[in-house]
């Protein structure tokens, strides 16, 4: 059984741990550690099956195989240098901190030069096993990559992505739940303001959004053609679509993604 440690048990770290531990036959012993003890205690209380470390030095005594770093980007290098003081030769570091490159992590390990480094980017939907998780590496073996892939497939789908695409990937996957939920909020707010009960509004709009995306992904025509086909002349849809087009809705979304991408590579 492989031993995996998650350092950083905030929203994203906890979401991944929850996704992995929802499958009781995952063959993984999961540990958690957070420098903020209140955060660690909350995670241990709320996540069944999660073990914990009292101190970073326990990585050695517990013989941890994979270390997943989910801290703030500014904390990654000091943390890695501290871990490098231990004997972790042959172990694997998985970093999901935004804008922290593989080389940045690798260069922190002077005493343990043969650690493998994998960069990853999940999203918050891991807690319901609907994450999109991207992986990239320069030196991890196929065996290690396969293990990591299978582990995170317990949280959703996994894509291998070259590191130079991680900025765009972060925008369209890591950040996009916020933008999608904002869209969902606007629609449900409108429905509730016009007399619908919250639960019914959520149910209707959820199905409309999910169904539309699935329908669009299977379409044999371009997405804009599909929009034009839905917008029957003199109908209701076209009147709303005119507002979106006139306000530059698509450009607003692209601008949001561009700004998110810039931050992800800086």
pLDDT value for 127: 85
Q: Count the neighbouring beta carbons within 10 Å of the beta carbon of residue 80.
A: 24
Instruction: Considering the domain delimited by 169-265, tell me its CATH architecture.
Output: Orthogonal Bundle (1.10)
Instruction: Considering the domain delimited by 2-161, tell me its CATH architecture.
Output: 3-Layer(aba) Sandwich (3.40)
- Helix, strand or coil, per DSSP, at residue 51: strand
**Binding site listing:** 7-12
| DSSP state string for 225-265 | HHHHHHS-TTSHHHHHHHHHHHTTHHHHHHHHHHHHHHHHH
In the predicted model, what is the mean pLDDT of residues 141-152? 96
**Mean pLDDT of the chain, nearest integer:** 95
CB within 8 A of 179, min separation 6: which ones?
253, 256
**Binding site listing for NADP(+):** 7-12
Distance CA 117, CA 150 (A): 17
Cα-based angle 146, 152, 153 (whole degrees, multiple of 5):
85
Whether pLDDT at 223 is above 80: yes
Whether pLDDT at 48 is above 70: yes
Strands 131-137 and 116-121, by their bridges, are antiparallel
Map out the domains of the chain as residue ranges: 2-161, 169-265
In the predicted model, what is the mean pLDDT of residues 29-45? 92
Would the pTM of this model clear 0.75, i.e. be above it?
Answer: yes
């Amino acid at each position: 059984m492989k031993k995996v440690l998650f350092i950083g048990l905030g929203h994203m770290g906890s979401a991944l741990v929850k996704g992995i531990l929802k499958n009781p036959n995952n063959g993984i012993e999961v540990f958690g550690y957070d420098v903020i003890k209140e955060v660690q205690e909350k995670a241990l209380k709320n996540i069944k099956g999660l073990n914990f470390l009292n101190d970073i030095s326990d990585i050695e005594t517990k013989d941890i195989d994979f270390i997943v770093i989910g801290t703030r980007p500014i904390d990654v290098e000091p943390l890695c240098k501290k871990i490098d003081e231990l004997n972790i030769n042959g172990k694997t570091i998985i970093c999901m901190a935004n804008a922290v490159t593989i080389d940045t992590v690798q260069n922190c390990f002077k005493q343990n030069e043969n650690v493998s480094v994998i960069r990853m980017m999940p999203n918050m939907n891991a807690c319901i096993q609907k994450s999109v998780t991207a992986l990239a590496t320069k030196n991890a073996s196929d065996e290690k990559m396969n293990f990591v892939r299978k582990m995170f497939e317990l949280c959703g789908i996994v894509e291998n992505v070259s590191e130079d695409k991680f900025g765009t990937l972060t925008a369209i996957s890591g950040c996009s739940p916020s933008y999608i939920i904002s869209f969902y909020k606007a629609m449900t707010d409108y429905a509730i303001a016009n007399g619908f009960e919250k639960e019914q509004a959520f149910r209707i709009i959820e199905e409309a959004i999910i169904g539309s995306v699935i329908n669009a992904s299977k379409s044999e025509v371009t997405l804009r053609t599909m929009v034009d086909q839905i917008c029957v002349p003199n109908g209701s849809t076209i009147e709303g679509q005119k507002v979106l087009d006139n306000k530059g809705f698509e450009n607003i979304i692209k601008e949001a993604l561009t700004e998110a991408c810039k931050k992800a590579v800086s």
